Amino acid sequence: MYTGQIVMFGLALLLTTVIVIKADDDEKPGVCPPERYYTPSTDIPHDKCASDKECEGDKKCCPDNGYKFCKPPAEERSGECPPEPEIKNRQDFCSSDSECAAGPKCCFGSNGKTCLPCDKVKAGNCEQTEFFKCSRPQRSFCDTDCSCPNDEKCCRIGCHFECQKPV
């Protein structure tokens, strides 16, 4: 009887070790960007991911104000931001340079952090969605194409804007 308990304990320990090792394999390299500041009066969509393996490419599943979203790993680019305005922290559309298109940096703008300078519209189009009146504003995750990484565009999805692959 005692030997059977030891064998069962050993199997349980082995299974736990395999599960922990497998969970670590799912984590992609890099560190998540800091959480963004946002205005709590807006609705926040539900979690977009539960682990890194659900995110495209090198993106990681990162916490942000109680929810999880796919974001590129944090990266600091060379260059300087313009002086910070007096009024800031209304709503951030980035918290790391990696969340911006190639070139711009994540800097304080007049309404919070955004990708600056932004002087171009990316190629492609957003998928057409039906327009409808929103009863409550939802949290947007971008304000221009520059606040989207790689070739993604800032597209309207229902009552908010988020980065999407162009069509």
As a whole number of angstroms, the distance between CA 148 and CA 71 comes to: 10
**For position 136, what pLDDT does the model report?**
74
| Mean per-residue pLDDT of the chain | 81
pLDDT bucket at 158, cuts 50 / 70 / 90: confident
φ/ψ (deg, to 5) at 75: -150, 135
| Rounded to 5°, angle at Cα 124 from 123 and 125 | 135
| For residues 70-99, average pLDDT | 87
**Cβ atoms within 10 Å, residue 57:** 9
Alpha carbon distances (Å) from 46 to 8, 78, 122, 123: 40, 34, 27, 29
pLDDT value at position 83?
A: 86
